[in-house]
Structure 1
Amino acid sequence: MSELGTKNLEKLKGTHLDRSDQDELLTAQTECSFVFLDEEGWPRGVIMSFIHDKGSIWLTAVEGRAHVRGAERDERVTVIVSSAGSGLPGRRMVSIKGRVKVHRDPEVKDWFLHEFTHRLQPADPHSWRKLLDSPNRVVFEVVPEGKVTSHDQRKIPGNGRGMDKDADTGRRVGP
């Protein structure tokens, strides 16, 4: 019998998010940590709103900001998405490394602003778009590369916190 979640949290094999659960998280959540390298080569991160579409993570920023300069200097970035505040049951996370493309062309910007504002502000997307649609606005496209790191606490007995009852079912777990 496994002691994972009731006696230890050492061997987490098998607690990754399945592909369909990754997609569910990336669709439900609207905020992520965007991690890039700053001018001194230090990892730095900002919290950003995003959409997941066409197999990529899409975000927006304004010219001159540290994360825009960082993305232009080194295209290697990481996007981290957690289920916190999403309304999804259980603690879930995904860390996606990828290469960022900084788009300035009107066609990509127009497509992105339409999708972004309609998904994240459906009650009044037009007002928000007016605020975002500025001459200095850029669009980030993070194209995933390599293996995704993920975690699904729902796969750990005891809710992953050493509890003797599963938080979602109320059933006893462990020996």
Structure 2
Amino acid sequence: MAVGENDLERMDQARLDMAARRELFEAARECTFLFLDAEGWPGGVTMSHLFHDEVFWLTAVSGRAHVVGAESDPRVGLVISSLGTDLPGRRMVRVRGRAAVHRDRETLDAVLPLFSARLQPAAPDRMHRLLNSANRVLIRVEPLSYPQTHDSRKISGDGRGGSAG
């Protein structure tokens, strides 16, 4: 019996392999960034991301809660889904990672142009002017593990019940 025909209890067969994760990282423009806030509560914000050289890059303004959280405790997470992409099926990955906040000009000069081209391919120079602000920081997230992933294409009926046909 195929996964998803009678129930959705055992989902281990519906995980994304690394090639499918990379495809999702490239197609999705946004993620949910997870961190601990100043009071120790879980926090999350939706942010644009860039996956480059096997790490994730996020950008924000210094002093925001998620920047402070990443500086206080570098254990962070990302949730990336296929919602809003052209990818078939429903895909999701949770990333467990270690964050480092960068303010140095060398890193900003290297990564912001890549970020600008990703966010605004038709006019990267205009996007770069917006991002290249006085209090701009980059958050580098090194992925440590992918504890949860999901690929509805591996489930009968695309995870909505019934047979695949």
TM-score bracket relative to the smaller structure: over 0.9
Q: Which amino acid aligns with 2:149?
A: S
User: TM-score, normalized by length of structure 2?
Assistant: 0.96
1:98 aligned residue: 97
Q: Aligned runs of 1:118-157 on 2, under 5 Å?
A: 118-157=117-156
**1:64-110 Cα deviation digits (max 9, x unpaired):** 10001101110000011000001100000010001101001111111
2:72 aligned residue: 73
User: TM-score, normalized by length of structure 1?
Assistant: 0.91
Q: Which amino acid aligns with 1:155?
A: K
Q: Post-superposition shift, 1:147?
A: 4.1
Q: Which amino acid aligns with 1:14?
A: Q
SS of match in other structure, 1:88: coil
SS of match in other structure, 1:61: strand
Q: Post-superposition shift, 1:163?
A: 3.5
SS of match in other structure, 1:146: strand
Q: Post-superposition shift, 1:131?
A: 1.1
1:45 aligned residue: 44
C-alpha distance in 2 between matches for 1:132 and 1:13: 40
Tell whether 2:148 aligns with 1:163. Answer: no
C-alpha distance in 1 between matches for 2:81 and 2:146: 17
Query: Which sections of structure 2, spanning at least 5 residues, go unmatched?
Result: none
Report how many aligned residue pairs link the two structures: 165
Q: Which amino acid aligns with 1:154?
A: R
Tell whether 2:62 aligns with 1:60. Answer: no
Moved over 4 A (4+): none
Name the one with the larger strand percent.
Answer: 2
SS of match in other structure, 2:107: helix
Q: Which amino acid aligns with 1:35?
A: L
Q: Post-superposition shift, 1:140?
A: 0.5
Q: Which amino acid aligns with 2:13?
A: G
Q: Post-superposition shift, 1:13?
A: 1.6
C-alpha distance in 1 between matches for 2:157 and 2:42: 34
1:82 aligned residue: 81
C-alpha distance in 1 between matches for 2:79 and 2:57: 13
Instruction: From the CA coordinates, give the structure whose radius of gyration is larger.
Output: 1
Aligned alpha-carbon RMSD (Å): 1.1
SS of match in other structure, 2:14: coil
1:15 aligned residue: 14
Kept after mapping to 1: 8 A contact 2:14/2:152: yes
